[in-house]
Structure 1
Amino acid sequence: MECIITIELGTNGVRVFAFDLSGHVLHSMKGHYPTFHTDPDHSEQDPEQIFITTLYVVKNLLNQYIYPKKYKVACICFSAAMHSLLAVDKNGNPLGNAITWADNRAKKEAQELRRSALGSSLYAATGTPIHPMSPLLKIAWLRNQDNERFKQTSKFLSIKSYIIHQLTGKYLIDYSIASATGLLNIHTVAWEADALQYAGITAAKLPELAPIFTTAGKLKMAYQQSLGLPADVKILIGSSDGCLATLGDGVKGEGKATITIEDSGAVRVMGPTVLKDEQMRFFNYLLTDDCYVSGGPTNNGGNIFDWFAKQFGDFTQPFDITHSIQQLLDEAAQVPAGSDGLLFLPYLLGERAPIWNANARGAYFGINIKHERKHFIRATIEGILYEIYSIGKSLGEQRTIKSLSVNGSFGTTPFCTQIIADMFNKPVHLRREFHSVSFGAWLLSATEMGLYRSLDEAARIVELPDMYEPDQQRHAMYADYFNIFEKLSTKLFDEFEAIGNLQQQYAATNLLPHNSPL
């Protein structure tokens, strides 16, 4: 019997699934690794820790659940979060940590480029909004602020490119991850000359471009032996997590959109044409030659509720954040929709779509003397989902959206799914105990192996039997509160920038009260 292994290199950990050739999950495992926020605009991860964690999880899954059942691994398919950047030297050794999508250090470069004619032309060519998330801006920041590391760099990689190089010795990047760098012309499917010139690099500094169905060569002998894998196992380069989540929900064609809320979040559509927007609010990422995944991302998804739980949750069971989160959800359910007038701007990590403001900050608004802890819990959840709704509302200007699907561990909690249906006033479809990114990777693998003739055919097999219907009264209430949320998100632009500047100005002073024991 043969099986397919999918490896998702996510923001907070690696997820490994094993599927049989019928698409049924045999088993899955997850390993965690930290993100380092040493300063408000910094988000980094240790690439060696990611690699070691990945090997550990894959080996345990194979040895505990796959080999005992006599399965042979036919294919391993990768997916990964977008916008990561890792500089390596001529020997492939990392020059520091990987910089993640949430890093905002390049906000000065982004502001200047976004306001220029070059920024508009690069957006039209690459489909990537001008924002510090983009590896294009990260490379420019390294050139300007860490020139020694910039000069020592032999290759600029995504974290997935680094992991694949470790396993096979090849430097490759798939079209979808490449199209999220701000360096790929999505129309010619080649590195964009103007973007390379702006970044101050040549194409030789980047990995080789490859379609998502590309086999990345053979595993190095050491990993064949360590993992017990045959020499002929296919190592598929795969795609990005966002593109595969969209495919895994079967979202192809007009009328459908999918919402992902994991650590970050996004609202996406898939089709044969790009979204053209003078305000440069939407991304257009290439899945295959004639298929684009378009939409808007948010920095602030389930990671914000995790932050809230860690700061204000009750940890009656040590280190059990899952238990704490469930208690908070139960408490939030005691509060009516709209949190009795309490609003939360969830911009703890700056923001991408639709406001594209790296200086944005979080805030609670409308607090009155009657508000209790339970109101802050519900307002936090609603604030995260108002931001998701704001992306969907903007996307609705470009595409007709009649129904939604939801995936991601935060978005698929019943409490959150119902709020999404109410806010959007649309039915929401999902399947419980279903991981859309991994299933999308399985669909990709199955298509490459000839089980389906095309991704279109593969997407048609997806079934999402669970449905949440909107409540009209709650929708009307959310619509009224959202109008205030939307106005606050833009009215506070000057104040967001001012407080960010003050924070940088006083960061080095470390002033403490005179009576401080420190």
Structure 2
Amino acid sequence: MTSNKKCIITIEIGTNAVRVVAFDLSGKTIASMKGSYPTFHAQPDFSEQDPEQIFITLLYVLKNLLNEHIHPEKIQVTSICFSASMHSVLPINKSGTPLGNAITWADNRARKEVALLKGSSDGNQIYMATGTPMHPMSPLFKIAWLKNNDKERFSNTSKFIQLKTYIIHQLTGEYLIDYSLASATGLLNIHTIKWEEAALSYAGINKSMLADPVPVFTSCGKLKKAYQNSLGLTAATQLIVGSSDGCLATLGAGVWDGNKATITIEDSGAVRVIGKKVLNDTQQRFFNYLLTENCYVSGGPTNSGGIIFEWFAKQFGDFKYAYDLEHTMKDLIAIATKVEAGADGLLFLPYLLGERAPIWDANARGVYFGINIKHERKHFIRAVIEGILFEIYSIGKILEEHSTIKSLSINGSFASIPLCAQIIADMFNKPVSISQHNYSVGAGAYLLSATEMGIFKSLDEAARSIELTEEYFPKKNINGIYRKHFEIFEMLSTKLKPDFENVVNLQ
């Protein structure tokens, strides 16, 4: 007898790891697995990854999940949906072979290219057309940097693709990029959904050098025979191009109207809202990315997420067990709970990796401010956590200039820590809820696949199916404390801009 059990598999190609999750058709998680890979920093502003290593890791994790949890239970895989972090660039030659490593979102090598275009009439035109802020994260500037500084690789490039496009091509032979990832390149006109000529001209390329932009529900083609055999899947398994991690995290958090925002904090972080209109910001402080036609995810990303707390834990944590970072971080969180809001006047600017929204300054650096003789280790721990969340609040604050936000849905391993969730509620002075899914990106990919299959009539209906299990409410009198501290945080982030640049020039 054959089983009638079916599942949807989601594959998230993240910044530091690939996550594979199997959902039954009702949305319940069957199993999940994760495989990590490194980021290489050949020079201070460089962040690169090996595409072959990522692909091999993906195959390894997917095959293990299938062999351990899916095939033994005779569960049919109906579809596989892909998601990926944004802004990667991978040059390939005519045969599809990578020309070196992929350049990731965290790469800041194109600072000079950004400085020359930002604030100009051409730069303003490109921002208004593409919705992508002027910052080295943007593939537009990464490609321009290659044109100006790595002429041999640039001239040998047949296409500039993203990591997800590379993975899909390896599996199916197709070169595709979904609307969401395409709209995060700084090269796609989000109004016409066509490659923007002004941006192409600036980058020195033509549209044939980019993958074909397609709707997020698009089938990627059939899995190659070799991978059907290796993975134990059939040609009938549908591969869906999917979306970006940011757009799917918003969908997976149950956000589908302008009155709710979602906050995601993993290694990096973001605050996002979703709506049918582009939110135009004359100061270019946030992005507008496409999920589907006439549906825009607007918000701002931060480099300064959980990775900053991880850095602090590695440098200053007490490792009771060798290399046990997770327990060390838990111990630090427990210590931070013993310190009152505001860390007794100690502030931390978390810009160890430069910063994106809202200051968009690749030169920004980390700062402790307000240290006095009474401050102890516990205050420094609390200040780091509050600094990361002040940065999140600074993004939400500018979004509220353009939309009404009444509540927050949070997700990601750092944001979901009870102390962090409560601080977010207190800083924003709004109720905060947490969804039942640990990883909202995978949940969003499931919802997208289930909508394509007809389980949900629309993405709107799919988003409303998300259950929010935990709630946090602002504590009385705490918001006022955070508002006073944030005024200083915000002032320092702006006032220190020339000093940030001076410090970078010393390196």
One fold, TM greater than 0.5? Answer: yes
36-45 vs 201-210, which deviates more?
A: 36-45
SS of the residue corresponding to residue 83 of structure 2 reads strand
SS of the residue corresponding to residue 409 of structure 2 reads strand
Give 1:141 deviation, angstroms: 0.5
Match of 1:315 among 311, 316, 319: 319
Residue equivalent to 1:508: none
Residue equivalent to 2:131: 127
Alpha-carbon deviations, 1:221-277, whole Å to 9, x = none? 111111111111001000000000101111111211000001111100001000101
SS of the residue corresponding to residue 466 of structure 1 reads strand
Q: For the residues of structure 2 that align with 1:145 and 1:349, how far apart are their CA atoms? A: 22
Give 1:207 deviation, angstroms: 0.5
Give 1:375 deviation, angstroms: 1.2
Give 1:472 deviation, angstroms: 2.7
Is contact 1:41–1:349 with CA below 8 Å preserved after alignment?
A: no
Give 1:433 deviation, angstroms: 4.9
The answer to whether the aligner puts 1:337 opposite 2:333 as a matched pair is no
SS of the residue corresponding to residue 406 of structure 2 reads strand
Residue equivalent to 2:114: 110
SS of the residue corresponding to residue 22 of structure 2 reads strand
Alpha-carbon deviations, 1:455-491, whole Å to 9, x = none? 1111121121211001132211111101000000000
CA root-mean-square deviation? 0.9
246-255 vs 392-401, which deviates more?
A: 246-255
Q: 1:343-382 maps to which residues of 2 (within 5 A)?
A: 343-382=347-386
Code of the residue aligned with 2:459 in structure 1: it is: L
Q: For the residues of structure 1 that align with 2:414 and 2:260, how far apart are their CA atoms? A: 20
Is contact 1:425–1:472 with CA below 8 Å preserved after alignment?
A: no
The answer to whether the aligner puts 1:409 opposite 2:413 as a matched pair is yes
Q: 1:243-258 maps to which residues of 2 (within 5 A)?
A: 243-258=247-262
The answer to whether the aligner puts 1:288 opposite 2:273 as a matched pair is no
The answer to whether the aligner puts 1:162 opposite 2:166 as a matched pair is yes
Q: For the residues of structure 2 that align with 1:69 and 1:286, how far apart are their CA atoms? A: 38
Q: Give TM-score, length-normalised by structure 2.
A: 0.98
Tell me how many residue pairs correspond in the alignment. Answer: 503
Give 1:126 deviation, angstroms: 0.4
Residue equivalent to 1:515: none
Residue equivalent to 2:465: 461
Q: For the residues of structure 2 that align with 1:201 and 1:462, how far apart are their CA atoms? A: 42
Q: For the residues of structure 1 that align with 2:76 and 2:256, how far apart are their CA atoms? A: 32
Residue equivalent to 1:506: none
Code of the residue aligned with 1:235 in structure 2: it is: L
Give 1:40 deviation, angstroms: 2.7
Residue equivalent to 1:473: 477
Q: For the residues of structure 2 that align with 1:310 and 1:38, how far apart are their CA atoms? A: 21
Residue equivalent to 1:172: 176
Match of 1:21 among 21, 25, 29: 25
Q: 1:115-514 maps to which residues of 2 (within 5 A)?
A: 115-503=119-507
169-178 vs 452-461, which deviates more?
A: 452-461
Is contact 1:156–1:205 with CA below 8 Å preserved after alignment?
A: yes
Give 1:336 deviation, angstroms: 1.2
370-379 vs 436-445, which deviates more?
A: 370-379
Q: For the residues of structure 2 that align with 1:364 and 1:432, how far apart are their CA atoms? A: 35
Give 1:432 deviation, angstroms: 4.6
Q: Give TM-score, length-normalised by structure 1.
A: 0.96
Q: For the residues of structure 2 that align with 1:319 and 1:232, how far apart are their CA atoms? A: 44
Where does the alignment leave 5 or more consecutive residues of structure 2 unmatched? none
Code of the residue aligned with 2:431 in structure 1: it is: P
Return structure 1 stretches of 4+ with deviation > 2 angstroms.
Answer: 37-40, 431-434
SS of the residue corresponding to residue 69 of structure 1 reads coil
Is contact 2:434–2:470 with CA below 8 Å preserved after alignment?
A: yes
The answer to whether the aligner puts 1:11 opposite 2:15 as a matched pair is yes
Where does the alignment leave 5 or more consecutive residues of structure 1 unmatched? 504-518
Q: For the residues of structure 1 that align with 2:43 and 2:476, how far apart are their CA atoms? A: 43
Q: For the residues of structure 1 that align with 2:419 and 2:227, how far apart are their CA atoms? A: 43
Q: For the residues of structure 2 that align with 1:44 and 1:274, how far apart are their CA atoms? A: 31
Code of the residue aligned with 2:211 in structure 1: it is: P
Give 1:434 deviation, angstroms: 2.7
Q: For the residues of structure 2 that align with 1:90 and 1:370, how far apart are their CA atoms? A: 63
Q: For the residues of structure 2 that align with 1:291 and 1:250, how far apart are their CA atoms? A: 15
Give 1:361 deviation, angstroms: 0.6
Code of the residue aligned with 1:274 in structure 2: it is: V
Q: For the residues of structure 2 that align with 1:119 and 1:433, how far apart are their CA atoms? A: 39
Residue equivalent to 1:47: 51
